[in-house]
Structure 1
């Protein structure tokens, strides 16, 4: 399979599937779609699926001939056909929607026993709720203004989905806080987009340090420090003894020796990093008491008989 053919398959697939999604939305909303348009769209989608299946089979067969196992070959073929950024975005969507359910149930995602959750959502909570309110207001206004059923149905579905996505992104951040492990390790997260585990052995120091780096939520500055920005600032700086590798939200890799992140209570996070909880060890059994032995005393004298 040539590189040009693989790129063509990717381009065709991801240009036709959004059009199919719009068509499905129209059908669900009850919009009458002309029969020739519906038949042509379905034929085009079927052709694209056949093309992608053919490309996927060729990639899979090539890996199998090279001696790769079935599961590994299928994973490699899907990875070669679907771009990394798109795969990560799709996974993020599912994780965010799952987080919405956790949020409703007031649960958190994988907080180990003995770990200290470090929330970081306070600076963005008001902004996210404002976005959700504006999305709802926009959806209602467009529903009242636009008279065309097709456009109205599309915008209605897009608006409702936008509200759900905004709430799901915020829910992912609430249910996935930073974690300071009982052993002093650190796990930095930003919703379902970013996850970095830092072992305790490479943490040199931690301090409360408010900075205003700006930019996106995950960025690397000119000094090579990793910033997890929430609300435009960070509040904790962690220095490491050696760089740690991380994966950005869209799949790019990097490394950093300085980590800066936001915490709603930075002093508590710094204190937990500075004094990890001692390991739980069972106390040794008490030593047995020495056996009781009769006390040795001098023999008592026998009194003389009376005269």
Structure 2
């Protein structure tokens, strides 16, 4: 990996840090990102909430326990406290990003997201169809041209495209996709919204 590529990846990771930190503030304020007038937000975080809250609870308990264990070692105590607090904020922020950065269906296109890590814009004139399609994809067996954004190991919507689009991963990898599979808390309502805008644009 060259210096230029390493620098680009570092900048992308720092931008990701900024997005999930911003999401914490949006979550507290009960606001969402990127949902305009006339848009339909499509939430997808409900399925992962029990796992996220469970992890947060475990890390909080660990933070308190380690603090007591290292109370007699000030330097080690401070280092571990900072690391543990960062971990709690990170896990909370990642869930907050999923809550505050929903998929968005609008008159001009479909915005598919994975928290603060991925944001894919698909113009509505490139969408062929959308359907409710419950799947449990195998992350170890990706399919060429298929973008799978599973939540709690499941996707519930399949969007077929008339023309491929380019999805950019967190680290900058570019992939051409012709099918997008994602999850929604209410997939049938999401599909209805997409198809409504498809009819308007046809």
Does the alignment reach a TM-score above 0.5?
yes
- C-alpha separation between the residues in 1 aligned to 2:16 and 2:156? 26
Name the residue aligned to 1:262: 183
**For 1:213-224, what aligned pairs fall within 5 Å after superposition?**
213-215=137-139, 221-224=142-145
The answer to whether the aligner puts 1:272 opposite 2:193 as a matched pair is: yes
**For 1:48-127, what aligned pairs fall within 5 Å after superposition?**
80=4, 83-127=7-51
- C-alpha separation between the residues in 1 aligned to 2:23 and 2:185? 20
Runs of 4 or more consecutive aligned structure 1 residues displaced over 4 Å after TM superposition: none
Deviations 1:259-278 (A, max 9, x none): 10000100011111111185
Name the residue aligned to 2:78: 153
- C-alpha separation between the residues in 1 aligned to 2:181 and 2:153? 12
From 90, 107, 110, the counterpart of 1:165: 90
Name the residue aligned to 2:168: 247
Larger radius of gyration: 1
In the superposition, the TM-score normalised over structure 2's length comes to: 0.92
Structure 2, unmatched stretches of 5+, are: none
Conservation of the 8 A alpha-carbon contact between 1:115 and 1:179? yes
In the superposition, the TM-score normalised over structure 1's length comes to: 0.62
- C-alpha separation between the residues in 2 aligned to 1:199 and 1:81? 29
SS of residue paired to 2:128: strand
Task: Tell me: higher relative CO, structure 1 or 2? Use CA pairs within 8 A at least 6 residues apart.
Answer: 2
- C-alpha separation between the residues in 2 aligned to 1:201 and 1:224? 19
Structure 1, unmatched stretches of 5+, are: 11-79, 280-307
Name the residue aligned to 2:99: 174
C-alpha displacement of 1:145: 1.4
Deviations 1:138-173 (A, max 9, x none): 111111112321111100111111111111111111
